[in-house]
A and B are shown apart, each in its own frame.
Chain A
Amino acid sequence: MNTLLNARPNNSRTPLALNNALARVAMILLLLITPLAAAQSPTISGTLGAVGSDTMAGLMLRWGEALTAQHPDVKLQFQASGSASAPTALVAGTTRLGPMSRPMTTEERNNFIERYGYPPLELTVARDALIIIVHRHNPLRALTRQQIDAIFSTTRACGADSPIRRWEQLPATRDWPFGDIALHGRNLASGTHGLFQQRALCDGQFRNDISEHPGSSAVVAAVGESANAMGYAGYNHLTPAVRALSLYNADGIAVAPDEGAIQNGDYPLARDLYLYVNLPPGEKLPPAEQAFLQLIMSDEGQQIIRASGFVALPQRSLTPPRMQQGPVI
């Protein structure tokens, strides 16, 4: 009982990482020291580039749409080719913003420091989760970690005794007369596939009869259409056609994937979404980037997070900054 349940989605893997709340503080400070007049004047122009995660493509795009609504002269250029492309682009200097659905690895961070002499500014901008879904009429409400593993994997690395193939094998669905559990998931190349394998299967192997869909919304649609289906997808794709299952945590309490539980990290399969910024110490960002970051942290930006289906960061009171690196000293 460890990996999945204790894998709180915090970003403390690297010593330089910032706490969520601290990220917001950093942002606010960053914005305070820069002349606000520049951000408010309607004459901001320039090209705003970002390269990175395709999970966050919709979110970045909506933010971009909101920004161009405020400043029509700002041109957007987003490339969503996967989280791995963000560090490369940041190091290369082709972009100053790199959205990522996972934290940078130490190697990626070191590459950046080697090139610029300072680490990138890491902002946690939103929170996401992997949800396990069943058909909306399915009586199943919650699963334990071993059950998930027994259903989806052949290896049962999380410690289940026997595989679960049929609905009768789960106590809650003993009377659900649909025979075999039809499994749906993402294709091999996607980050969701990898994350689920790592966090929910304890790095075990997937069964080979899982339908692999090329997109999360296709998983949701497929599960919503058949009563015998179960699948995993990103939280932002949840619709009323399916039901997202609660997961039991280490204390044996079922945690539903609702906004609160994902926000405070109680839901075991939650993860953070990051925005990496190339910002030399003591300097300020170009006006377009700055207006973009300001938008993200504004109420409107936070609402866009929710409108995109993700979970906004917790609103915490300001605490004194304990940053080891920041835009301002």
Chain B
Amino acid sequence: MTPVSTAFRRFHWLNGLWPWLCAASVALSLLMLGALLSLLLVRGLGHFWPATLEEITLRSGDTFAGHAVREVALPQQAGDERLYFTGNRDIEGARWRWVAIDEIAERTQPVDLIRLERSPWGDFIGRLVALEQPDQRFEGDAAWQRLTALLALPANQRQDSQLQLATADGQTVRQPLANVISAQAPNAMSWWQKTGAWSEAVWLFLSEGPRAANTSGGVWPAIFGTVLMVILMSVIVTPFGVLAAIYLNEIAHQGRLTRFVRVGVRNLAGVPSIVYGVFGLGVFVYGIGGSLDTWFFSDTLPSPTFGTGGLLWASLTLALLTLPVVIVATEEGLARIPDAQREGAVALGATRLEMLTRIVLPTAAPAMLTGVILAVARAAGEVAPLMLVGVAKLAPQMPLDDEFPYLHLERKFMHLGYHLFDTAFHGEDVQAAIPLVYATALLLVLIVLGLNLTAIFLRHYLRRQRGNEC
């Protein structure tokens, strides 16, 4: 007996622990997934909740107002420091403030603190002193009521009103009402009012375009661009994927070559998406797009029409990328149809076309649908190839509008995934963008997971149904 196996015997009870490590792997994976999703949920949705405003007095006597964002440990010394969002960039020069917690003398939450969203300077946090109109002047509570009434009007009907505001440390500023977008007094709001404000903010996030160079506002153009691109892509990928699958499974001679091709298609699903992006850029954009430009759009050259990234090229690239997914899924569906059904149809005198359209395709339709949904889910979350073939940081013009020819295939478009990357890395201020990035990430994950769940349930449901049939 070798010494190793004696040791093995002696610590036999340790052997019983291996399965526990395996079980913990499952638990760890679930934990990570759960942690990621709950982080996105909490931070993504929490951003829209009206934050309580605090008035902070420091030991130095300095006073400011804002809401706490996060805390980190101070380098080199004991204790933490806290980051406050203070707004008032036009007055203070910055909208953030780091304060060591030890320096804070007093924290209060006065109910009269308000938060205004303005353009172009972003948020104001402070107090409303008065609202001045050419003929009238409102103060105190009346001013606040008048302000909320005026904000309900369109911007051009409140040109002549002015707000007199005071910061927490007593500076007064004047603010034309025309530049104010919204006003909120979160400390005075009840829980119900906050819920209302929260759902309104979520709705605005989903339905509005980005404002102030992507630092506020919503993601509607990105949702629209993503959906439009994905629809175009599925219109392209479905027929070709299905055709290729039918060819491979029903028509091609099942020899060595077909098997080889099948392995090849399967492997293309594993080729990195960025490679497809490179292909799209080189062939679609520079190759085909460039030629189209010289043939049809030579009057606008050298500025490219189709010779630059756009909706069409992005959809085509992603269609190519998701082609293997559709082919593989459809083939699986086709392979599951018993040969007896095909033979039966042919024996009854059906031609191959009739056999395919009446017997094979209806039976395999669910599998195709699953394949397309999976393809859509993959395309919706893909960013890297899009960076090369037509996604834009900001596309004020939608690719679909009321101008002839309505669908502008050459236009660049916005995409949720790229919008996320862009706001997180290219924006003006990452700290300000992070809550929006969380919300965008949550939205993207929800869309992709929703699509995947649909595919899974569809497959389950249909399999069970077919199981009953057999």
Task: State the Cβ distance, A203 to closest chain B Cβ, in Å.
Answer: 27
Does A285 make an interface contact (CB < 8 A)?
no
CB within 8 Å for A88 and B303 given contacts A137-B76, A221-B431, A236-B428? yes
Question: Could you tell me if B303 and A177 are in contact, using CB atoms closer than 8 angstroms?
Answer: no
Whether B75 lies near A307 (C-beta < 8 A) is no
Question: B460 in the interface, Cβ–Cβ < 8 Å?
Answer: no
Which chain B residues numbered 299 to 339 have a C-beta less than 8 Å away from chain A? 300-303, 308
* B151-172 to A contact mask, C-beta < 8 Å, 1/0: 0000100000000000000000
Q: Which residue of B lies closest to A220 (CB)?
A: B430
Contact A217 B426 (CB under 8 A): yes
Contact A57 B300 (CB under 8 A): no
Contact check, B396 vs A307: say whether CB atoms are below 8 A apart.
no
Across the interface, B120 reaches (CB within 8 A) one of A62, A80, A94, namely A62
B318 to chain A, nearest CB (A): 21
Judge if B174 is at the interface, Cβ distance under 8 Å: no
CA gap between A76 and B308 in the complex, in Å: 19
- Binary flags per residue of A200-223, CB closer than 8 Å to B gives 1, else 0: 000000000000011111101100
CA distance A135 to B122 in the complex (A): 25
- Residue of A with least CB distance to B427: A217
Interface members, chain A 147-178 (any B CB < 8 Å): 177-178
From residue 42 to 90 of chain A, which have CB atoms closer than 8 A to chain B?
51, 54, 57-59, 61-62, 64-66, 69, 75-81, 88-89
Which residues in B have their C-beta under 8 angstroms from that of A304? 120
Partner of B213, one of A62, A75, A218, A237: A62
A109 within 8 A of B: no
Closest beta carbon of chain B to A268's beta carbon, Å: 22
- Complex alpha-carbon distance, A152 and B303, angstroms: 37
Instruction: Tally the A-B contacts, defined by beta carbons under 8 Å.
Output: 110
Decide: B89 and A215 in contact? CB cutoff 8 A.
no
**Which of A77, A78, A236, A239 has the most CB atoms of chain B within a 10 A radius of its CB?**
A239
Contact (Cβ within 8 A) B425 A78: no
A218 touches B425 (CB 8 A): yes
Please tell me if the beta carbons of B303 and A215 are within 8 angstroms of each other in the complex.
no
Contact B302 A213 (CB under 8 A): no
Pair A137/B424 contact, Cβ less than 8 Å: no
B300 touches A92 (CB 8 A): yes
- When the two chains form the complex, which single residue of B96, B300, B394, B425 contacts A213, counting CB atoms closer than 8 Å? B425
Residues of chain B within 8 A (CB-CB) of A177 are: 76
- Minimum Cβ distance to chain B for residue A249 (Å): 23
Within 8 A of B (CB), among A13-28: none
The listed residue (A51, A54, A78, A308) touching B428 by CB distance below 8 A is A308
Which chain B residues border A306 with CB–CB below 8 Å? 90
Given contacts A62-B212, A135-B75, whether A215 and B425 have CB atoms under 8 Å apart is yes
Q: Is A284 on the interface with B (CB-CB < 8 A)?
A: no
Given A57-B213, A221-B430, do A240 and B96 touch, yes or no (CB 8 Å)? yes
**B430–A217 touching, CB < 8 Å:** yes
Taking a contact as CB atoms under 8 Å apart, the answer to whether B426 and A214 are in contact is yes
Asked if A94 contacts B74 (CB within 8 A), the reply is no
A114-127 Cβ-contact flags toward B at 8 Å (1 or 0): 00000000000000
B395-415 to A contact mask, C-beta < 8 Å, 1/0: 011000000000000001000
For the complex, what is the distance from the CA of A79 to the CA of B392, rounded to whole Å? 9
A275 to chain B, nearest CB (A): 17
Shortest Cβ distance from A36 into chain B, in angstroms? Answer: 19
Q: Which residues of B contact A (CB under 8 A)?
A: 74-76, 83, 89-90, 94, 96-98, 119-122, 155, 178, 211-214, 300-303, 308, 393-394, 396-397, 412, 421-422, 424-431, 433
8 tightest A-B CB contacts, nearest first: A58-B213, A215-B426, A221-B430, A307-B120, A215-B425, A227-B75, A218-B425, A92-B303
